[in-house]
Amino acid sequence: MSRSGLRLVERRILHLFHSRTTCTNLTEIHARFLRYNLHQSNLVLAQFVSRCASLRKMSYAHLIFLQTQNPNILLFNSMIKGYSLSGPPLESLRLFCTMKNRGIWPDQFTFPPLLKSCSNVSDLGLGRSIHAEVLTVGFEAHNSVQIGLVELYSSCGRMEDAQRVFYEMSQRDVVVWNMMIHGFCKKGDVDKGFYLFRQMSEQNVVSWNSMISGFAQGGRDGEALGLFHEMWDAGFEPDDATVVTILPVCARLGALDVGKWIHSYADGRGLSKEITAVGNALVDMYCKCGDLVGARMCFYQMPRRNVVSWNSMISGLAMNGHGNIGVNMFEEMKRQGIEPNEVTFIAVFGCCTHAGLVQRGQELFDLMIKEHHIKPRLEHYGCMVDLLGRYGHVKEAFELIRSMPMRSSAAIWGALLSACRIHGDLEIAEHASKELVSLEPWNSGNYVLLSNIYAEAGRWDDVENIRVSMKDKYVQKAPGQSMLE
């Protein structure tokens, strides 16, 4: 075939990568360029690798790459970018070393995906070595490289380094501004993130979402909700990420009316039906606001429910005093083939505690270990100690604590001590209080609780001894205060 004819065939094959009907049929495209002896064309192979990456078929691309006799910088860049996008990220760094060993000099398109790979694995050391390579070859002024550096340093929490690169950039688009805002908020410096947010000349939904999430995660729910209202007034339409972020804020603030408005909005945009996470957030919001009717309506209208959906509903029933229904829902969940996880059992233990189902709770604890092969965490033991202690099984709760493979927390000993006071078990109370004082020698509440137990038992000498002990250890009793304060 003549050179002009070969170029024509090459253009036709390249067209296949952009055709809706053929772009996903990799084997057909592969056969086509093999037929025309274009399997060594770096241009064709680079396009083929890009298509493989978009379909997450980099193993296929790798096999083709290994058969290439003289891969050039174009093909290497395509492979490096493919691995940075679809993984495994470290393969792109290995290929970079192979490329250098072959004497192929990197260009400005080599480094952004390499930096992306370092960001994906949060490897600051590797990222710094790539940054050094950038400085060596002189590509530090390229915008795409600078964006990669900002992403690397912000994802690794090195905001001073990210800021240094950011302010050296001649052009800053909304993407790089969002990286900086997200980086500061993730590190806990929400005010710095908010300062940058206010400096932006152009914002998008991601900008607002990052800032709302930053306030929410920083415990500044009022500001998060205020910014959400401002976002709406500015003409930005919330997306699924906005909804999933702001609904827990509504739950914590008890802003049920706002939550209902967001529910209506999500229904109107189809978000509550199409995106499971939105449905889950709605169920959780209604449960935490005490509206079980709304929670059940959302739950049963969801076309797809995952384990998070069931967990939200079961824990919501527990916190609203419907433990028996919650346990029944757990059984229904299992019948529908949904495998419970660690959080599920914490929720169902809460149901047993609120409903007084001690024996059922013990059976479920054994079921969690033996049938579902879930190793109990501190939270699971804490739930069981609370369940047993609250309903008079103080000795069993004490033995459970002693059998734990990890050291108990102050919260668990505190729950046991409270149970001892309710049920009058002075011997175990003394043991629990000693453990509490060992864990929290500064906490006056532990001394006061034991003092009250002694007082109720008429052991006034021991009450006085505790007061002396508190004085000797400089432990100050926390003053009482009104809930209105």
> 3-class DSSP state for residue 218?
coil
Alpha-carbon distances of 273 from 75, 246, 336, rounded to whole Å: 42, 18, 20
Nearest to 128 by CA among 144, 99, 143, 148: 148
* Angle value at C-alpha 456, between 451 and 458, nearest 5 degrees: 90
Phi-psi region at 254: left, alpha or beta (left = phi > 0; alpha = psi -120 to 50): left
Give the residue among 164, 136, 171 at the shortest CA–CA distance from 150.
Answer: 164
Rounded average pLDDT over 324-329 = 96
Helix (H) or strand (E) holding 380: helix 378-390
pLDDT digits (tens, 9 = 90+) for 422-443: 888 888 988 888 888 778 776 7
**Residue-wise pLDDT tens digits, 160-205:** 999 999 999 988 999 999 999 999 999 999 999 999 999 999 999 9
> How distant is the alpha carbon of residue 224 from its chain centre?
19
pLDDT computed for residue 473 by the predictor: 63
CB 241 within 8 A of CB 208: no
Q: Give the model's pLDDT for residue 481.
A: 43
Instruction: Return the number of other C-beta atoms located less than 10 Å from residue 154's C-beta.
Output: 26
Q: Compute the Cα dihedral for 422, 428, 431, 432 and give only its sign.
A: negative
**Where do we find the tokens 């059940």?**
296
The residue among 55 and 480 whose pLDDT is bigger is 55
DSSP calls for 283-326: HHHHHHTT-HHHHHHHHHH-SS--HHHHHHHHHHHHHTT-HHHH
- For the ranges 16-20, 53-57, 78-82, 349-353, which has the lowest average pLDDT? 16-20
Question: What is the per-residue pLDDT across 373-392, written as a single tens digit (0 to 9) for each?
Answer: 999 999 999 999 999 999 99
Exposure string (b/e) for 228-254, b if CB count within 10 Å is 16 or more? beebeeeebebbbbbbbbbbbbbbbee
pLDDT tier for residue 329 given thresholds of 50, 70 and 90: very high
Instruction: Map tokens 């691995």 to a residue.
Output: 83
**pTM attached to this predicted model:** 0.82
DSSP string computed for 390-443: HTT-HHHHHHHHHH-SSPPPHHHHHHHHHHHHHHT-HHHHHHHHHHHHHH-TT-
195/189 Cα distance (integer angstroms): 10
Question: For residue 63, what are its two tokens?
Answer: 């096999």
